[in-house]
């Protein structure tokens, strides 16, 4: 300050030059500081380095995984037979699949189902330390879609649950479903169905839906979802963006729904939006064509529907899974490997290949080739695997064996949950 006062008696031009010099010096110092460069870490004025990024063990794990492990996590395969055969063990150990689904023909009794699931988990443990635990799933909806053995009490259809007029009953049924499934060793249920039953000619949904009212489907479906989740069983809500207004079975052929995105938001998307608000963890995408949204690709292969509508517009950042890629809706119109790659490019994290090991390996090979060629970007793969591993960690999944099942206890819980008021 004294220097400036001394200068104040000089010419005005000189004062201007000094001020400019001071400002220039200040800017030079500031700019140098902004580069983060210093000549010595202990010098006065050295820039403090930014704090390290928050630790994220899952992110670090994904980065360390080889490509084969990452792609394996993105495939959910079916099982042939009723035992943990050498072939399915190879699918786990060598092909590194991250999930397996059982169907009715894989299940004979409670005891056999426990042995099978324990065998699958054993194969994953023996494949090497550090393998992520398996997702082990089944379609256990109640009503006509019930896969578990007859030793266990049946569950009513979703339609019958909604007829009670009490949404808390759906919560109780979700809890009983979760207790039943976890006792046998499952950790994923492909339920609840959030399709609105709006088309009387629909050959595949019907009583699987909670009803023809979007608000009823939303309230009952979300309650069942929360009940399953409370028992550490992952609920996979389905079939986005809505399979209710179809007149074709997608197991056999490709259904077409001629609705705009705005029309979907008024009905079909209502239950899914409510599920997402309630922090749904996983969504299954249907094999249906919506030509007014994407005229070229079914929903399961459409970036407009998966990345645009579900993730972008509706804000869903959980795990997205395709319906079974070996269904007629896909195989009659597309090459299986190319379809799987397109589903992953569209934003799906997991491709479901429910029948035949050869089909699962074909899809694995197609995804790996797409990754190596750059068609499927590494960043996209890492995002999907991050979501999958986060889901497994969030639910505390492990590959530990389950012991003998107390069938009487489970049946008592089912009877309590399904008892009519």
What is the rounded distance in angstroms from the CA atom of residue 190 to the CA atom of residue 146?
11
User: DSSP E strands: which ranges in 99-215?
Assistant: 99-102, 135-138, 188-189
Q: Which of 251, 333, 355, 365 is catalytic?
A: 251
Alpha-carbon gap, residue 158 to 238, rounded angstroms: 13
Say whether 365 is catalytic: no
Task: Tell me the β-bridge partners of 235.
Answer: 189
d(CA 188, CA 192): 11
Q: Is the preceding peptide bond at 241 cis, omega within 30 degrees of 0?
A: yes
Q: Are residues 357 and 77 in contact, defined by beta-carbon separation less than 8 angstroms?
A: yes
* Number of neighbours of residue 27 by Cβ within 10 angstroms: 10
Q: 95, 245, 281, 323: which one is catalytic?
A: 323
Tokens 């490019």 sit at which residue? 345
Tell me the three state secondary structure of residue 238: strand
Is there a catalytic annotation at residue 323? yes
100 three-class SS: strand
Nearest to 113 by CA among 66, 148, 154: 148
- Sorted by sequence, the CB contacts under 8 Å of residue 188 that are 6+ apart come out as 99, 135, 136, 137, 138, 233, 234, 236, 282
Order of strands across the sheet that contains 188-189: 319-322, 282-285, 234-240, 188-189, 135-138, 99-102, 75-78, 351-353
* Beta-carbon contacts of residue 31 (< 8 Å; ≥ 6 apart): none
Cα–Cα distances in Å, from 341 out to 134, 334, 338, 370? Answer: 22, 11, 5, 7
Contact status, residue 356 vs residue 78, Cβ threshold 8 Å: yes
What is the Cα–Cα distance from 367 to 384, expressed in whole angstroms? 13
Token digits of residue 122: 């054993």
DSSP state of 142: B
Q: Rounded to an integer, what distance in angstroms lies between the CA atom of residue 107 and that of residue 14?
A: 95
Catalytic residues: 251, 323
């Amino acid at each position: 300050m004294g220097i400036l006062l001394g200068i104040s008696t000089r010419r005005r031009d000189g004062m201007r030059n000094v001020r400019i010099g001071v400002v220039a010096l200040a800017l030079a110092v500031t700019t140098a500081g902004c580069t983060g460069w210093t000549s010595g870490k202990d010098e006065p004025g050295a820039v403090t380095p930014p704090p390290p990024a928050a630790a994220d063990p899952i992110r670090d794990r994904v980065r360390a995984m080889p490509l084969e492990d990452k792609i394996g996590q993105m495939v959910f395969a079916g099982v042939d037979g009723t035992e943990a055969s050498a072939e399915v063990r190879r699918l786990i150990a060598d092909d590194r699949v991250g999930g397996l689904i059982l169907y009715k023909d894989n299940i004979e009794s409670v005891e056999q189902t426990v042995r099978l699931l324990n065998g699958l988990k054993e194969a994953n443990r023996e494949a090497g330390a550090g393998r992520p635990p398996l997702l082990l799933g089944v379609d256990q909806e109640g009503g006509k879609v019930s896969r578990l053995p007859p030793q266990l009490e049946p569950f009513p259809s979703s339609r019958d649950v909604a007829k009670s007029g009490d949404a808390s009953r759906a919560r109780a049924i979700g809890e009983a479903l979760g207790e039943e499934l976890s006792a046998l060793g499952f950790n994923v249920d492909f339920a609840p169905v959030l399709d609105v039953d709006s088309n009387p000619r629909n050959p595949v949904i019907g009583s699987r839906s909670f009803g023809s009212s979007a608000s009823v489907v939303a309230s009952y479906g979300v309650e069942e979802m929360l009940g399953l989740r409370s028992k550490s069983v992952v609920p996979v809500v389905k079939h986005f963006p809505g399979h209710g207004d179809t007149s074709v079975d997608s197991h056999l052929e490709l259904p077409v729904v001629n609705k705009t995105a705005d029309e979907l938001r008024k009905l079909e998307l209502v239950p899914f939006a409510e599920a997402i608000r309630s922090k749904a963890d996983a969504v299954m995408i249907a094999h249906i064509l919506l030509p007014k949204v994407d005229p070229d690709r079914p929903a399961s292969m459409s970036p407009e529907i998966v990345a645009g509508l579900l993730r972008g517009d509706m804000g869903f950042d959980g795990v997205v899974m395709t319906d079974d890629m070996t269904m007629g809706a896909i195989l009659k119109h597309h090459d299986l490997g190319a379809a799987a790659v397109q589903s992953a490019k569209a934003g799906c994290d997991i491709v479901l290949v429910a029948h035949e090991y050869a089909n699962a390996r074909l899809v694995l090979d197609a995804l790996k080739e797409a990754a190596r060629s750059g068609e499927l970007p590494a960043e996209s793969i890492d995002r999907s695997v991050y979501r999958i591993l986060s889901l497994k960690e969030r639910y505390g999944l492990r590959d530990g064996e389950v012991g003998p099942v107390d069938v009487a206890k489970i049946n008592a819980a089912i009877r309590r949950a399904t008892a009519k008021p």
